[in-house]
Chains A and B, each alone.
Chain A
Amino acid sequence: MAGQPWWKHPHPHETDLGLIERIGRGDAAALEALYARHGHSLLAYLIGQVSDRQLAEEVLQDVMLAVWRGAARFRGESAVTTWLLAIARRKAITARQRRPPPEQALDEQTAADDSGPLEVLEHQSDRAAVRAALRALPDDQRETLELVFFHGLTGPQAAAVMGVAPGTVKSRLHRAKAMLERVLRLRENADA
Chain B
Amino acid sequence: MHEIWLDQLPYYVAGTLDPAGRAALEMHLRECEACRASLAQWEAIAGAVREDAASRVEALPPLRLPDVFSGNGRVSEAPSHIGKTLTSESTEDSPMTVHVPEMASLRPAPQSRSVLTLAAAVLLVVLFGAAAILLAGRLGGVDAPGASGPDGEQPTGLGIQPGTPTPYPQATPAATGTALPGAVPPAAGAPEAVDVTPTATPIPAIPGGVVLPPTALPYTQSEVLPFTPGLTTSTTSITSVPLDLGLPSRAEIEGVRFEAQTWNNSGPATLSMALSALGWEGDQAEAAAWLRADADDRSVMLWEMALYVEQETEFGALYRVGGVPALLKRLVAYGFPVVIPVGFEADDGEWYGHHWLVAGYDDEAQVFLVYDSFLGAGEDGPREVSYNQLDAAWRQFNRAFLIVYRPEDRAEALDELAHYADRATLRVLGPSLADGYRMQHPDDPWAWFNLGAAWADLGDYGAAAAAFDKAFEMGLPWRTLWYRPEPYAAYYGAGRLSDVIRLADEQSQAGFFEEVAYWRGMVYATQGLPDLARREFQSVLDANPNYLPARVALDELTLAELDVPVFPAGRRAVALNPSLYSIVESQGVPPTPIMREELAVPPLPVTLDPAMLSPGAVITVEAVPLTPSIIPATPTPIPAD
Chain A residues with a Cβ under 8 A of chain B: 2-3, 6-14, 18, 21-33, 35-36, 39-41, 43-45, 47-48, 53, 57, 60-61, 64-65, 68-73, 127, 130-131, 134-135, 145-146, 148-150, 152-155, 170, 173, 176-177, 180-181, 184, 187
The answer for the CA separation of A180 and B494 in the assembled complex, in Å, is: 44
Identify the stretch in B55-63, B197-205, B208-216, B284-292 within 8 Å (CB) of chain A at 4 or more residues. Answer: B55-63
Most buried by A among B57, B80, B528, B621: B57
B79 touches A24 (CB 8 A): yes
The answer for the CA separation of A74 and B14 in the assembled complex, in Å, is: 26
Can you report 13 residue pairs joining A to B where beta carbons are below 8 Å apart? Answer: A6-B597, A25-B123, A26-B82, A26-B614, A31-B612, A36-B495, A36-B606, A70-B80, A127-B47, A130-B48, A150-B54, A152-B15, A154-B11
**Residues on the A chain within 8 Å of B614, using CB:** 26, 28
Task: Give the residue of A47, A145, A176 whose beta carbon is less than 8 angstroms from that of B56.
Answer: A47
Identify the stretch in B38-46, B174-182, B511-519 within 8 Å (CB) of chain A at 4 or more residues. Answer: B38-46
Task: Give the residue of B57, B223, B598, B618 whose beta carbon is less than 8 angstroms from that of A26.
Answer: B618
Task: Give the residue of B41, B48, B224 whose beta carbon is less than 8 angstroms from that of A13.
Answer: B224
B597 touches A64 (CB 8 A): no
Task: Give the residue of B53, B123, B224 whose beta carbon is less than 8 angstroms from that of A44.
Answer: B53
Q: A40-B60, A152-B16 are in contact. List 9 more A-B contacts (CB 8 A).
A: A10-B495, A25-B127, A25-B618, A28-B614, A29-B463, A43-B57, A61-B65, A148-B14, A181-B41
The answer for the CA separation of A135 and B55 in the assembled complex, in Å, is: 13
B579 within 8 A of A: no
Given A43-B56, A152-B14, A153-B16, decide whether A130 and B45 contact each other with a Cβ distance below 8 A: yes
The answer for the CA separation of A18 and B220 in the assembled complex, in Å, is: 7
Given A3-B15, A26-B623, A28-B69, decide whether A21 and B220 contact each other with a Cβ distance below 8 A: yes
A148 touches B528 (CB 8 A): no
B7 within 8 A of A: yes
Task: Give the residue of A26, A39, A181 whose beta carbon is less than 8 angstroms from that of B78.
Answer: A26
Say which size band chain B's interface belongs to. 35 or more
The answer for the CA separation of A39 and B63 in the assembled complex, in Å, is: 9
Q: What 8 pairs across the A-B complex have the smallest Cβ distances?
A: A29-B462, A72-B81, A130-B48, A150-B53, A149-B46, A2-B15, A26-B617, A149-B49
Given A10-B600, A184-B41, decide whether A2 and B64 contact each other with a Cβ distance below 8 A: no
The answer for the CA separation of A26 and B85 in the assembled complex, in Å, is: 14
Chain B, residues 595-627, CB within 8 Å of chain A (1/0): the string is 011111111001010001110011001010000
**Residues on the A chain within 8 Å of B219, using CB:** 22
Most buried by B among A3, A131, A149, A150: A149
In B13-56, the 8 Å CB interface with A consists of 13-16, 41-42, 44-54, 56
**Residues on the A chain within 8 Å of B54, using CB:** 44, 150
**Residues on the A chain within 8 Å of B15, using CB:** 2-3, 152
Chain B residues with a Cβ under 8 A of chain A: 7, 10-11, 13-16, 41-42, 44-54, 56-57, 60-61, 63-65, 67-69, 77-82, 84, 123, 127, 219-220, 222-224, 460-463, 465-466, 494-495, 528, 594, 596-603, 606, 608, 612-614, 617-618, 621, 623
A35 touches B81 (CB 8 A): no
Task: Give the residue of B45, B608, B617, B623 whose beta carbon is less than 8 angstroms from that of A180.
Answer: B45
**Residues on the B chain within 8 Å of A25, using CB:** 79, 123, 127, 617-618
**Residues on the B chain within 8 Å of A41, using CB:** 53
Task: Give the residue of A36, A149, A176, A187 whose beta carbon is less than 8 angstroms from that of B602.
Answer: A36
Closest CB of chain B to A8's CB: distance in Å? Answer: 7
Closest CB of chain A to B451's CB: distance in Å? Answer: 15
The answer for the CA separation of A154 and B22 in the assembled complex, in Å, is: 13
B462 touches A28 (CB 8 A): yes
The answer for the CA separation of A6 and B598 in the assembled complex, in Å, is: 9
**Residues on the B chain within 8 Å of A150, using CB:** 49-50, 53-54
B56 touches A48 (CB 8 A): yes
Closest CB of chain B to A61's CB: distance in Å? Answer: 6
The answer for the CA separation of A92 and B177 in the assembled complex, in Å, is: 42
B61 touches A145 (CB 8 A): no
**Residues on the A chain within 8 Å of B10, using CB:** 148-149, 173
The answer for the CA separation of A22 and B81 in the assembled complex, in Å, is: 12
Task: Give the residue of A35, A48, A60, A73 whose beta carbon is less than 8 angstroms from that of B80.
Answer: A73
